[in-house]
Amino acid sequence: MTGSPFGTAPDGTPVHCWRLDSGSGVSADVLTFGGIVSSLRVPAPSGCVGDIVLGLPGMAEYSAPNPYFGALIGRYGNRIAHGEFTLGEETHRVPATDRGHALHGGPEGFHRRLWKASPAPGNCSDLAALRLELRSPDGEMGFPGTLDVEVTYSLDRSGTLAIDYRARTDRATVVNLTNHSYFNLAGAGHGNVLGHTLELDSDAYLPVTAEAIPLGPPAPTAGTPFDFRTARPIGDRIDEEDDQLTAAGGYDHCWVLTPAGTPGTLRRAARLADPESGRRMEVWTTEPGIQVYTGNALDGSLRGPGGKPYERHGAVCLETQHFPDSPNRPEYPSTVLRPGEEYRSRTEFRFPQLSA
């Protein structure tokens, strides 16, 4: 694991890039700004190594508005309706920046913060592990409580990239952390992902309003374009006349994952495969949901480090998380964290072709 300078943040603070190397062909770059995964290089069965996440050329581009490329998201990933939620007798307000609703923790959420980096416990010759730490003060972006957050990125010799999240608070608050990487297994900027096959371990999803707020309880996917219980191309039904797809311009929905046998244990959430390169990726998580977003708003105006434009549907996000608007939905799994409790979550990105 090695660190190197990566420009400066908007306030002039130096930003560093940390490279995690598995020693078996997979490597990842993580920035101290936003905890961003700026690069994830994975070999194909042919031996060709490609960068499979969408990144930007430098800090000038990461500091400018962009769709959360590779960033750590908090305090609350996804949306909170009208930017309001109530804990006890007190109503809290988060800036509503997305069609009248709060998105991804507000405009100055964790994706805009500088994280303190250090080698994580367990870092050794068989495991590259980077610990990022952040203190979010009481009232930041409207959230109650001082929240101490620790996120560990680790890469082992099998090529598995794991993200471990931990958090503690001194006052009741809500927490929903995730990573917002955009994946294209053919390589960043290498066309769209409509030919990638996707399989989700889920038989229900959350329909949403035109403003991406859940309508209510989960709906079965059987017989709908949202049925990915068996692997099929992402683009297979993405253009069907369906109110949910039309409003979002594609997929931008949370799937309810099949519960694990034991709560809090890892289970597979998704399988993604690119027939052209032969790369495959599995997502394993302890979270109850996964937000699938097919890059519907990408329009070619943003380019990667090599100058390739990121076109519409040029990547897919697989964001493991609790459900959107859970703070206002007591029927959903709770996202409330109280003093004396610890928030813990783990997600793994595995590459089966490396051991085939």
**Which residues participate in catalysis according to the annotation?**
180, 319
For residues 89 and 334, is the Cβ–Cβ distance under 8 A? no
For residues 253 and 213, is the Cβ–Cβ distance under 8 A? no
User: Among 174, 155, 175, 180, which Cα is nearest to 165's?
Assistant: 175
Strands, E assignment, 201-261: 202-205, 219-220, 232-233, 252-257
Q: Does the CA dihedral 181-10-18-287 come out positive or negative?
A: negative
**C-alpha pair distances (Å), 128 with each of 52, 88, 162:** 19, 42, 10
Any idea what DSSP says for residue 243? Answer: H
**Cα–Cα distance for residue pair 22/18, rounded to 1 Å:** 13
Query: In the chain, helix, strand, coil percent, each to 5?
Result: 10, 40, 50
* Owner of token pair 């959430």: 269
For residues 199 and 211, is the Cβ–Cβ distance under 8 A? no
**Cα–Cα distance for residue pair 106/78, rounded to 1 Å:** 10
**Cα–Cα distance for residue pair 263/282, rounded to 1 Å:** 20
For residues 321 and 345, is the Cβ–Cβ distance under 8 A? no
**C-alpha pair distances (Å), 74 with each of 7, 134, 176:** 23, 11, 6
**Cα–Cα distance for residue pair 271/269, rounded to 1 Å:** 7
For residues 35 and 181, is the Cβ–Cβ distance under 8 A? no
